[in-house]
Chain A
Amino acid sequence: MSARGEARLWLAQRASGAVLALCVVVHLAVIVYAVRGGLSAAEILGRTRGSVGWLAFYSVFVLAAAVHAPIGLRAILAEWLGWRGRGATMAVHLLALALALLGLRAAWAVFGAP
């Protein structure tokens, strides 16, 4: 990849990381709140379904993670396994797409579906 492309990825990793930092702080608080007293589908979905605000929040969270994880894995594949070039770039693009689709589907399942 060109130096300009690498610089863009570097910046995207920092920007997505900053967004994720905020999201993860909220998510950790949600985890501590949600797991008290055990988890049941009725309790979770009764609380979550139809909350547009949380659907929006977790959609942003998912998209930031879909940017962040593949860029990180790309660096690790290159440095630890020596896998670089077009094939590696294609693979991490596919991973980003898969994470985004799976993640948005999950957010919809929990917060969106009526």
Chain B
Amino acid sequence: MTRQLRARGHPAWWAFLVHRLSGIALALFLPVHFWALGTALGGEAALDAFLAWTDRPLVKFAEWGLVVLLAAHLAGGLRLLALEFLPWRDWQKGLLALAAGATLAVGLAVALAL
């Protein structure tokens, strides 16, 4: 139990949790995203009807959140690929901070564009 708690205090455990939870959220979002884009098969008006529904603050915030989760999953995934496939070097300990920074940067860029 103490060992488990100590493991959970480690930044790498939080990186694991963020990667997993963002992955779950993205997997759940994908079918909805695909369905929404598929409405374009019904013509411009059908897609516009859906886009009108998305034009509200809560949906915009959720969209922004999903983009941030995507950026976090990307950054965390690149970190994992570097850890698993590159020879171990001390600088790889800094990858976590780099991943967090990249996520933050994407979050800001999208927030400014929205």
Question: A residues touching B (Cβ–Cβ < 8 Å)?
Answer: 14, 17-18, 20-21, 24-25, 27-28, 31-33, 35-36, 38-42, 44-45, 62, 65, 69, 72-73, 76, 98-99, 102-103, 105-110, 113
| Chain A contact residues: helix, strand, loop or mixed | helix
Measured as residues with beta carbon below 8 angstroms from the partner, the interface class of chain B is 35 or more
**Contact A25 B74, CB 8 Å, known A69-B30, A72-B23, A106-B38:** yes
**Contact A106 B27, CB 8 Å, known A18-B81, A41-B51:** no
Question: B residues touching A (Cβ–Cβ < 8 Å)?
Answer: 20, 23-24, 26-27, 30-31, 33-41, 44-48, 51, 54-55, 67, 70-71, 74, 77-78, 80-81, 84-85, 106, 109-110, 113-114
B26, B33, B84, B109: the one contacting A32 at CB < 8 Å is B109
**Contact A39 B37, CB 8 Å, known A24-B74, A28-B106:** no
